[in-house]
Amino acid sequence: MILEDNFAQRRKGYPQGSLFFVFNLLRSGLTQGVVLSGIAAAVSCTAAPKTDEPIVLQGEAQGTTFTITYWPVSETPASERVADSIQMYLVAFNEVASAWDTGSVISRLNRGVVFNDDEPSEWNRLLQEGQRIKNLTNGWMDPEVGRFTSAWGFNGQKAVLGTGNPSADSARIRELMGLTKPCYDVNAFAQGLSVDGVAQILKHFGVAHALVEIGGELYALGGRPDGNDFQVAVDAPTEVRQGKPITVVGLKNRGMATSGNYRKFQVDPKSGMRYGHTLNPFTGWTARTDLLSATVLAPSSSEADGVATALVAMGLNRAKELVQKHPEWDVVLVYSNPSGAWEVYSTLE
């Protein structure tokens, strides 16, 4: 097939397993200042700083922006080489995980494309991470929820649910529930996983102090060079507190992510009802939840990302029960109480 031939051509630039075992990418020689054309992740970098000042890389990737701040050591390559390596990694990651790229691995699998050989190992590693987080959250974050996110129109597809006709929606959901072929959506944790990958690239280059942020998902590699933690603000939902953070947390060797329905939703043009993008994977319906947002600190950004989505879907009571079983997590949960006022539950206080 033509699709398979194009995919094989694109893979020639990357060694087997390069996407998530980034050390292979770095050893391959692809980071030697290669110039790529037509790349979606545009990177700008600062001039060479003094030794006590950080380098800041900023650009666009995955339909959002990123900021990477790191403190080089004497062995760290020039910032342009580091930027090239990160840029290539993000492009390669997008070719696997993007639901918006019709040529990505996940898009092809969801269309029923059969690979000539086994499924790409980099996709298998992504799916393994999704299954791991699914197990951690008792199924409330499910990488196979794609048939529902597509039907609700949350990944660029034309919505067939949320039509203002509950009876028709129920019938359609029952039909989707009966499908046996997996349909994937990894948006709940993939961006966090790409953050972890960038942190590993920096670590490979000898960097011990860095803060990686892509689209709001974070990972702190070490802390600040002065020994202090990175200080990161936890934003409040826009309906709750305009432009003011709830609190500021210290971050060191941990990932952090926030999930909520207050920024991403669909509005039914007939009924005016608002449908949040967080789904209940057990029912296929948008989650009926009292949580406005969930911020999670976890050992990795991918875990923080996926767990935050799961907590919003399951609601406050289930979320508190799950968090109490995982001392490796910290959370800041913003919820609506029975009177409609918002409150905060935090394990950081």
Number of neighbours of residue 279 by Cβ within 10 angstroms:
24
279, two tokens: 């789904």
Q: What percent of the chain has pLDDT over 70?
A: 76
Compute the distance between CA of residue 73 and CA of residue 138 in angstroms, rounded to an integer: 42
Q: Which helix (H) or strand (E) holds 164?
A: none
Compute the distance between CA of residue 152 and CA of residue 208 in angstroms, rounded to an integer: 42
Task: Please return the burial class of 344, using the count of CB atoms within 10 Å of its CB with bins 0-12, 13-18 and 19+.
Answer: middle
The overall average pLDDT reported for the chain is 80
Confidence (pLDDT) at 245: 83
142 pLDDT band (50/70/90 cuts)?
Answer: very high
pTM for the whole structure? 0.81
The residue-averaged pLDDT of 87-106 equals 90
- Architecture per CATH, 1-349: Roll (3.10)
Cα–chain center distance at 241: 24
Compute the distance between CA of residue 76 and CA of residue 200 in angstroms, rounded to an integer: 14
Confidence (pLDDT) at 180: 79
Packing angle between helix 301-314 and helix 121-136, nearest 10 degrees? 50
Q: Per mean pLDDT, which range of 11-25, 52-66, 288-302 is the poorest? A: 11-25
144, two tokens: 């196979």
163, two tokens: 């039509």
Cα–chain center distance at 304: 9
Q: Which helix (H) or strand (E) holds 304?
A: helix 301-314
Q: Output the CA torsion sign for 14, 16, 17, 22.
A: negative
Tell me the pLDDT tens digit for each residue of 207-220. Answer: 999 999 999 999 99
Q: Evaluate if residue 244 carries a pLDDT over 90.
A: no
Which is more confidently placed, 207 or 20? 207
Compute the distance between CA of residue 215 and CA of residue 197 in angstroms, rounded to an integer: 14
Q: Evaluate if residue 51 carries a pLDDT over 60.
A: no
Compute the distance between CA of residue 264 and CA of residue 151 in angstroms, rounded to an integer: 16
SS3 8: helix
Compute the distance between CA of residue 285 and CA of residue 262 in angstroms, rounded to an integer: 17
Compute the distance between CA of residue 104 and CA of residue 185 in angstroms, rounded to an integer: 12
C-beta separation of 149 from 279 below 8 A: yes
Bridge partners of 255?
Answer: 219, 298
Q: Evaluate if residue 206 carries a pLDDT over 80.
A: yes
Cα–chain center distance at 118: 25
DSSP category for residue 31: T
CA–CA distances in Å: residue 251 to residues 221, 266, 289: 9, 33, 28
Most confident among 11-20, 104-113, 218-227, 261-270 (mean pLDDT): 218-227
The residue-averaged pLDDT of 76-104 equals 91
C-beta separation of 194 from 93 below 8 A: yes
Amino acid at 128: Q
Q: What percent of the chain has pLDDT over 90?
A: 47
Confidence (pLDDT) at 34: 27
